[in-house]
Structures are given as structure tokens and as C-alpha cells.
């Protein structure tokens, strides 16, 4: 069972629908107690970094998410769920993230040829092809992005995928049980669904 964290601001509908489409058992988790029986966790997210932290705190999810990750259970962050794994964001100075990884989310500062936010399809270059999310996913596949900020890890070794948009930035990370992506696999058609299926299999042991 995949637990999809509901802290009041996430793309729960599309993530839940995608899980149902691929036949992956999933449930919306509105309180930490609802995680009972789950073998994997998805942390989706849309909106502003500071609002996300505030909602996560209010719903009591900060420590349970950290504990889940520390327990080496499968974890997938999507969009803001990726940025939350880091120490903070230029979007909300002084607001701490989960601090699972060292580094910050930075705002795109690009030339006039590139619109911010980046909205639309872009490619992901696989820097760690062994990442479980990439099983059966061709290198340089297209995924759907909507974001104005990108993560800058201090440890380059956790970068699983990169994307070019006026610069080359980290669009996927992987370390042990923790995987996270800047794009939206649930909105990325067959390739994104394959990625979600790969993650679901980690949680079911199939």
C-alpha cells in the first residue's frame, strides 16, 4: 500500500488516479496514524515552499516523514516534495525544509529566451541509470514540468537525473530508499506511469 500524504496542498487527485490506473494500491493519508499498513510513501506538492512547511507542521507530518525516511522505507517526492527534502529555499528565506539532504532550492535566473516558471515537456538525462525509478525508462525521456525553483544539492552524488533549461540542473535525486523528482510523473503519460509503477513495486516487494 502506498500512502499519499495529504497536508492540505498537493496534487493528490492526479497522483491517486495514476496509482489506480497502474493497479497500485494507494490511499490518501491525512494524519500520521493513517500510515499504518503502508509500505511506501509519496509526498506530492504544489505551491510555495513556506506554505508547504507550514501545512506539513500543522498536520503533524514533519517528524513522521523524517522517521519514515530514516527507517529506510521507500519514499518518493514529487515537485515541491523534492524541494522539501533539502535545507531550505530561496522562495521562503529562513524557513527550514526537512533537511534530509544538504543544499537549497534556487530560483531560475535565466535570459529572456526562457520563461519562468518552466511549464511544459522537457527531457531528463539519466545520471544514475541504476535508480529504481528509471527501470524500463529510456534515457532522455520527456516529462512534464511546472516550476520556478530547482534544487542544488551539495552532494552531487545524489543527482539521479538532470534537465537543461537555460542551464543544467538536478531534476531527480536518489539515495538508498529516497527518490524524488522535480517533474510530474503522474502527468507524464506512459513514461511517467512506468516510473510510478517502478516505485509501487518497491513498496509491495513485487
Q: How many CA atoms lie within 13 A of 3 on its CB side?
A: 23
Domain with 190 in it: what CATH number?
A: 3.40.50.880
The pLDDT value recorded for residue 11 is 64
CA 73 to chain centre: 15
Residue 40 cell numbers, joined: 511506501
Residue 91 catalytic? no
Query: CA angle, corner 168, sides to 182 and 183, nearest 5?
Result: 15
Q: Which listed residue (19, 131, 147, 184) is catalytic?
A: 184
* Residue-number span of the structural domain to which 31 is assigned: 2-204
Report yes or no: 146 and 119 within 8 Å, Cβ to Cβ.
Answer: yes
The pLDDT value recorded for residue 10 is 62
Residue 79 catalytic? yes
Residue bearing cell 514540468: 145
For the chain, what is the domain count?
A: 1
C-alpha distances out from residue 44 to 83, 130, 138, 156, 183, Å: 10, 23, 24, 23, 11
Residue 184 catalytic? yes
Q: Which listed residue (19, 38, 52, 79) is catalytic?
A: 79
For the beta carbon of residue 64, count every other beta carbon within 10 angstroms.
Answer: 18
Phi then psi for residue 124, to 5 deg, are: -120, 120
**pLDDT, tens digit only, all 206 positions of the chain:** 999 998 776 667 788 889 888 999 999 998 999 898 899 999 998 788 999 899 889 989 999 999 999 999 999 999 999 999 999 999 999 999 999 999 999 999 998 899 999 999 999 999 999 999 999 999 999 999 999 999 999 999 999 999 999 999 999 999 999 999 999 999 999 999 999 999 999 876 44
CA distance 148 to 32: 30
Single pTM value for the model: 0.95
Among 82, 35, 39, smallest CA distance to 201 is for: 39
With 0-12 / 13-18 / 19 or more C-beta atoms within 10 angstroms meaning exposed / middle / buried, residue 136 is exposed
Amino acid at each position: 500500500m502506498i500512502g499519499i500524504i495529504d497536508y492540505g496542498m498537493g496534487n493528490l487527485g492526479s497522483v491517486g488516479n495514476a496509482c489506480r490506473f497502474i493497479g497500485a494500491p494507494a490511499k490518501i493519508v491525512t494524519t500520521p496514524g493513517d500510515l499504518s499498513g503502508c509500505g511506501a510513501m509519496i509526498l506530492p506538492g504544489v505551491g510555495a515552499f513556506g506554505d508547504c512547511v507550514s501545512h506539513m507542521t500543522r498536520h503533524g507530518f514533519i517528524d513522521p516523514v523524517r522517521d519514515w525516511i530514516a527507517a529506510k522505507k521507500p519514499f518518493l517526492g514529487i515537485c515541491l516534495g523534492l524541494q522539501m527534502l533539502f535545507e531550505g529555499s530561496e522562495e521562503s528565506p529562513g524557513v527550514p525544509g526537512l533537511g534530509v539532504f544538504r543544499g537549497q532550492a534556487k530560483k531560475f535566473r535565466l535570459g529572456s529566451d526562457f520563461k519562468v516558471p518552466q511549464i511544459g515537456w522537457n527531457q531528463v538525462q539519466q545520471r544514475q541509470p541504476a535508480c529504481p525509478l528509471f527501470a524500463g525508462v529510456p534515457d532522455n525521456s520527456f516529462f512534464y514540468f511546472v516550476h520556478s525553483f530547482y534544487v542544488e544539492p551539495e552532494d552531487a552524488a545524489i543527482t539521479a537525473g538532470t534537465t537543461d533549461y537555460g542551464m543544467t540542473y538536478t531534476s531527480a535525486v536518489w539515495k538508498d530508499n529516497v527518490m524524488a523528482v522535480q517533474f510530474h510523473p503522474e502527468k507524464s503519460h506512459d513514461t511517467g506511469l512506468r516510473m510510478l509503477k517502478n516505485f509501487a513495486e518497491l513498496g509491495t516487494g513485487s
